[in-house]
Amino acid sequence: MSDGNGLITMQLMGKSYQVPSGLTIMAAIEYAGYKLVRGAGCRGGFCGACPTLYRRDGSHRIFTALACQTLVEDGMCLVQMPFVPLLTRPYDLQAIVPQPNTLLQHFPEIAGCVACNTCARSCPQGLPVMDYIQAALRGDIERAAMLSFDCIACGICSSRCPADIKHYAVGLLARRIYGKYLAPPAPDLARRVAEIAAGRYDAELDALISLPAAELRARYEQRSFEAVADGAEPYSATRRYNSPMDPVDYQDELAG
Amino acid sequence: MELIDGYPPAMRASIALVEQTRPARLGHSFPALSLEARKALLTSCHPDYKAGARRPLRFGPSQGMQVNHELADLFEARPLVRTSLDLSHIDADVDLLVIGGGGAGTVAAIWAVKAGLDPSQVLIATKLRHGDSNSTMAQGGIQAADRPQDSPTQHFLDVVGGGHFTNRPELVRALVRDAPLIIQWHEQLGVMYDKEPDGHFVENPGGGTSRNRMHSARDYTGLEIMRVLRDEARSLGIPVVEFSPAIELLSDGEGRVTGAVLINLETRRYHIVRARATIITTGGLGRLHMQQYPTTNHYGATGDGLVLAYRVGAELVDLDAVQYHPTGAAFPAQMAGLLITEKVRGLGAQPLNALGEQFVFPLEPRDVEAAAFIRECGERGLGVATPHGICGVWLDAPMVDLIHGPGTIRAALPAMFRMYTRFGIDMTRDPILVFPTLHYQNGGVAADEHGATSVPGLYVAGEVMGGIHGKNRLMGNSLLDFNVFGRRAGMAAAAYARAHPPGRLSLAHVAAYEQLLDAAGIATTRTAPRILPDYRGKEALERYLDIPL
């Protein structure tokens, strides 16, 4: 209970601790005296090391969160779940021929999806997890790749799935297949790699290395700049940012 | 405290000024500084130049180098194992030991296998989980000069200028020359870079770059690269032992590294690894919290590799310079120090003071930009105060959508948008508050362009390696660095391992190091490596009893 001094009570693995309000769950666990070994990684929402399950008063539900990205609440009853076992059959991406059933072949369990949407409801990134599993099942590799892109592989979805699907592994393979086989190849890249292999820049680089310091500084100060100020926009919202959402949706949303 | 859409009323007043000046600022950036002006700003305001913050190393191959006290403490510390430790039972006997399972270590292991080592004869040992690293947290992008209007030469100039001409040029040459090749390798592995419908990469500018060459994967660039590399290493069957950091290297007593002592963090059992070649890829040191700065770094970034390498006699370089990323989150308190990617500025957001005025070119090299922020909050007194006591400057995030169209922030910066949303702030509508945060170890263990250190059998790659970036790294060159030098070190170490039989195992170098400590008159009970920082609450620690269970 809140005691008026800004302290709240959380239950960590069944024990009550008084901690200051306003801390993240991770900071509250440490405040209580725990030195984390598992259950902490990047501490910034990118690594998926700190999945946490909790209940709160007045709800029958189990809630899920990343401990480093969620504020502790009075009355929270929580436990960290630092690991979800994962075994996948190794694959050689270079030998895969992408077919509509490729993901199903590698992960037959996706056929068992009962469309309960528990995976999406438990995703701390707010991803439409079930939708990308359904896309994978239909053989829509591109959609599975795009919808799963922001996955940090915390594994909460897989721990809650009644069909024992390894969602984050499915998404990863979908993205790798998309990146290698389905995304259009970069036209300039191969040319530049070939130039470098042929030694096209070796003399220029060696010349720079042997320049006296003052001349190198002068070369640096005389660099031409690719003009952003010239009105040339090197980037725009209509370009593709591996976005899980159709940009058109944004327009509608904003207009509404 | 009452908050209005995430901000207290006092900060709202300053936001009103930001909104007032916004129309006039669009399309008009504060001019960039000359080299002389940069230098003056750095010496007056950058933490590296703060009086009393550093002391010279008192012994060893890099004696005299000025380093922050927090780092000097690490070198002036006792080992975690006694030199009498029983080394007679070898738990793993491998061709190549890779210490550190982040980006550099994973790339090195993959390329050692591509260079001919049997995957089962490679071992990655890592402190936390495979992939728990600063690599995963890198958001903004990776540089590679692959467009026709760009060249490796232009990239070279940007790198050495950003590093204030202190970089080791042969390392920079390797970095810029290999960059397009790395991107091509990533494409073959299925890394999903942002692309145009015709296949051209979306390439942005970064601080200190003269061409747009930042390749990104939304703002999860490091995560995307790391998870693909980890998957590839797993598919190749390369063994990884997690929660098992190295706490000391082993040597043959004649100067060659021959393996390492690992410790299982959960059972505290030690493991002896004998290896023909060893690569240190332990990353950086943000969790030492130099000068009490918060950090963007992951939980295990405590500079272990520097200590291990120095004890076995490796030379260090450029550790006098530490990178403070200009845009660490300053509000809300729960986000303090977390990285706000430079891509936000790359997409057009301007830094502003409390009056809503520009005071610096948005894309100076990082140390210059950070120094300007510190000056604005310090001597100029024009920072924005927060309820939790720290001060910051605005980053006018809504400009991104104004310049590039609605939806850009949510599409190109989803991690940033998501993080701020979690804490009640909508960065598409409101500016965000930032202040410099400890970000990167510019220097490190000295090595040649194949990652070979001055110690036979010992290689380094990634953030732990020094010399590439000189005194200041540019955005997008660390993801590049760990790929370029991870690959090179992996191949070079594989060749070394094939040419050299396993060596004798001893801790003689550690005994010698302790003698150096004593000879320098350093009496301490401090130990290193540090392994993990300690964030336990003071109240809990005051009543802590260290009893046997």
What is the interface pTM, i.e. ipTM, of the complex? 0.94
Domain B95-321+442-499: give its CATH architecture.
Answer: 3-Layer(bba) Sandwich (3.50)
Contacts with B134 from chain A: Cβ below 8 Å: 42
Contacts with B191 from chain A: Cβ below 8 Å: 179
Residue that the structure tokens 């809630």 belong to: A63
| B358 three-state secondary structure | strand
Closest-CA distance of chain B to residue A241, Å: 5
Judged against a pLDDT cut of 50, whether residue A250 lies above it is answered with no
pLDDT digits (tens, 9 = 90+) for B14-28: 999 999 999 999 989
pLDDT digits (tens, 9 = 90+) for B309-352: 999 999 999 999 999 999 999 999 989 999 999 999 999 999 99
pLDDT of the residue at A252: 40
Closest-CA distance of chain B to residue A105, Å: 16
Contacts with B149 from chain A: Cβ below 8 Å: 226
pLDDT of the residue at B1: 66
pLDDT of the residue at A226: 82
Show Cβ contacts of residue A146 under 8 Å, excluding neighbours closer than 6 positions.
Answer: A178, A242, A243, A244
Sign of the Cα pseudo-torsion (B421, A40, A120, A9, in order)? negative
Closest-CA distance of chain B to residue A237, Å: 5
Judged against a pLDDT cut of 50, whether residue B354 lies above it is answered with yes
Contacts with A23 from chain B: Cβ below 8 Å: 334
A223/B407 touch (CB, cutoff 8 Å), yes or no = no
> Which among B150, B410, B540 has the least Cβ separation from residue A32?
B540
B200/A186 touch (CB, cutoff 8 Å), yes or no = yes
Amino acid at site B55: R
Closest-CA distance of chain A to residue B275, Å: 26
Show Cβ contacts of residue A160 under 8 Å, excluding neighbours closer than 6 positions.
Answer: A64, A118, A119, A122
What is the C-alpha to C-alpha distance for residues A127 and A107, in angstroms, rounded to an integer? 20
> Which among B165, B200, B339 has the least Cβ separation from residue A44?
B339
**Residue spans in chain B of domains classed CATH 3.50.50.60:** 95-321+442-499
Mean of the pLDDT values across residues B538-546?
A: 95
CATH code: domain B9-30+323-439 is 3.90.700.10
A31/B192 touch (CB, cutoff 8 Å), yes or no = no
With respect to CATH, is domain A7-80 assigned 3.10.20.740? yes
- Measure the CA angle with vertex B89, ends B87 and B91; round to 5°: 110
When pLDDT is cut at 50, 70 and 90, the band that residue B528 belongs to is very high
Closest-CA distance of chain B to residue A248, Å: 9
Contacts with A90 from chain B: Cβ below 8 Å: 234-237
Nearest chain B residue to A67 by CA distance is B334
The mean pLDDT of chain A is 88
Using CB atoms within 10 Å of the CB of residue B32, give its burial: 0 to 12 exposed, 13 to 18 middle, 19+ buried. middle
When pLDDT is cut at 50, 70 and 90, the band that residue A255 belongs to is very low
What is the C-alpha to C-alpha distance for residues B429 and B7, in angstroms, rounded to an integer? 12
> Which among A34, A37, A228 has the least Cβ separation from residue B265?
A37
What is the C-alpha to C-alpha distance for residues B342 and B325, in angstroms, rounded to an integer? 9
pLDDT digits (tens, 9 = 90+) for B223-265: 999 999 999 999 999 999 999 999 999 999 999 999 999 999 9
pLDDT digits (tens, 9 = 90+) for A67-96: 999 999 999 999 999 788 888 888 999 999
Closest-CA distance of chain A to residue B43, Å: 19
Mean of the pLDDT values across residues B454-472?
A: 97
pLDDT of the residue at A228: 55
The mean pLDDT of chain B is 96
**Active-site residue list of B:** 325, 345
pLDDT digits (tens, 9 = 90+) for B146-182: 999 999 999 999 999 999 999 999 999 999 999 999 9
Mean of the pLDDT values across residues B52-76?
A: 96
**Residue spans in chain B of domains classed CATH 3.90.700.10:** 9-30+323-439
A37/B137 touch (CB, cutoff 8 Å), yes or no = no
| A12 three-state secondary structure | strand
Q: Do domains A7-80 and A93-182 have the same CATH topology?
A: no
pLDDT of the residue at A230: 44
A235/B347 touch (CB, cutoff 8 Å), yes or no = yes
Residue that the structure tokens 């599975």 belong to: A144
Residue that the structure tokens 């830094």 belong to: B351
Contacts with B328 from chain A: Cβ below 8 Å: none
B404/A247 touch (CB, cutoff 8 Å), yes or no = no
B415/A46 touch (CB, cutoff 8 Å), yes or no = yes
Closest-CA distance of chain B to residue A200, Å: 10
A187/B232 touch (CB, cutoff 8 Å), yes or no = no
DSSP state of B476: T
Instruction: Find the helix or strand (DSSP H, E) in which B385 lies.
Output: strand B384-385
What are the sequence ranges of the domains in chain A?
7-80, 93-182, 190-222
Judged against a pLDDT cut of 60, whether residue B267 lies above it is answered with yes
Tokens at residue B109, please? 């292991």
Judged against a pLDDT cut of 50, whether residue B370 lies above it is answered with yes
Phi, psi of B257 (to 5 degrees): -80, 135
Using CB atoms within 10 Å of the CB of residue A232, give its burial: 0 to 12 exposed, 13 to 18 middle, 19+ buried. exposed
Identify the residue among B198, B263, B408, B542 best suited for mutation to test binding to A, counting A beta carbons within 10 A and taking the highest: B408
Mean of the pLDDT values across residues A15-36?
A: 96
Beta bridge partners of A172: none
Using CB atoms within 10 Å of the CB of residue A122, give its burial: 0 to 12 exposed, 13 to 18 middle, 19+ buried. buried
The larger pLDDT score, comparing residue A56 to residue A241, is at A56
What is the C-alpha to C-alpha distance for residues B130 and A83, in angstroms, rounded to an integer? 12
Nearest chain B residue to A179 by CA distance is B190
B405/A216 touch (CB, cutoff 8 Å), yes or no = no
Tokens at residue A77, please? 């009853």
When pLDDT is cut at 50, 70 and 90, the band that residue A245 belongs to is very low
Mean of the pLDDT values across residues A170-184?
A: 97
pLDDT of the residue at A151: 97
Tokens at residue B393, please? 């400057």
Nearest chain A residue to B532 by CA distance is A37
Across the beta sheet with A15-20, the strand order is A15-20, A7-12, A77-80, A51-55, A63-66
Identify the residue among A72, A149, A239 best suited for mutation to test binding to B, counting B beta carbons within 10 A and taking the highest: A239
For chain A, what percent of residues have pLDDT higher than 70?
86
Judged against a pLDDT cut of 50, whether residue B186 lies above it is answered with yes
Tokens at residue B84, please? 């009498």
Nearest chain B residue to A196 by CA distance is B177
For residues B147 and B213, the answer to whether their CB atoms sit within 8 Å is: yes
Judged against a pLDDT cut of 70, whether residue B519 lies above it is answered with yes
Show Cβ contacts of residue B380 under 8 Å, excluding neighbours closer than 6 positions.
Answer: B353, B359
Taking residue B66's Cβ as centre, other Cβ atoms within 10 Å add up to 14
B157/A208 touch (CB, cutoff 8 Å), yes or no = yes
Q: Which of B246, B253, B254 is nearest to B272 (CA)?
A: B246
What is the C-alpha to C-alpha distance for residues A45 and A36, in angstroms, rounded to an integer? 16
Contacts with A22 from chain B: Cβ below 8 Å: 333-334
When pLDDT is cut at 50, 70 and 90, the band that residue B532 belongs to is very high
Report cis status (omega within 30 of 0) of the bond before A124: no
What is the C-alpha to C-alpha distance for residues A64 and A185, in angstroms, rounded to an integer? 39
- The overall pTM is greater than 0.90: yes
Residue that the structure tokens 């997409």 belong to: B347
A187/B199 touch (CB, cutoff 8 Å), yes or no = yes
Mean of the pLDDT values across residues B284-307?
A: 96
B193/A179 touch (CB, cutoff 8 Å), yes or no = yes
pLDDT of the residue at B172: 98
> Which among B200, B411, B414 has the least Cβ separation from residue A187?
B200
Using DSSP bridges, classify how beta strands B54-56 and B66-68 pair: parallel, antiparallel or unpaired.
antiparallel
pLDDT of the residue at B490: 98
pLDDT digits (tens, 9 = 90+) for A93-133: 999 999 999 999 999 999 999 999 999 999 999 999 999 99
For residues B528 and B307, the answer to whether their CB atoms sit within 8 Å is: yes
Amino acid at site B257: V
Judged against a pLDDT cut of 70, whether residue A254 lies above it is answered with no
Mean of the pLDDT values across residues B119-127?
A: 98
Instruction: Find the helix or strand (DSSP H, E) in which B240 lies.
Output: strand B240-241
Gap between the terminal Cα atoms of chain B? 44
Q: How far is C-alpha B9 from the chain's CA centre?
A: 36
Beta bridge partners of B459: B279, B452
Judged against a pLDDT cut of 80, whether residue B197 lies above it is answered with yes
Mean of the pLDDT values across residues A7-12?
A: 96
B235/A235 touch (CB, cutoff 8 Å), yes or no = no
How long, in residues, is chain A?
256
pLDDT of the residue at B397: 97
pLDDT of the residue at B345: 94
DSSP state of A192: H
pLDDT of the residue at A6: 86
Tokens at residue B317, please? 């370089």
Q: Which CATH superfamily is domain A93-182 in?
A: Alpha-helical ferredoxin (1.10.1060.10)
pLDDT of the residue at A58: 85
Mean of the pLDDT values across residues B512-525?
A: 96
Question: For chains A and B, what is the number of CB pairs under 8 angstroms?
Answer: 286
Using DSSP bridges, classify how beta strands B316-317 and B444-445 pair: parallel, antiparallel or unpaired.
antiparallel
For residues B124 and B239, the answer to whether their CB atoms sit within 8 Å is: yes
What does the buried/exposed string (b/e) look like for B86-95 if buried means 16 or more CB atoms within 10 Å of the residue's CB?
Answer: ebeeeebebb
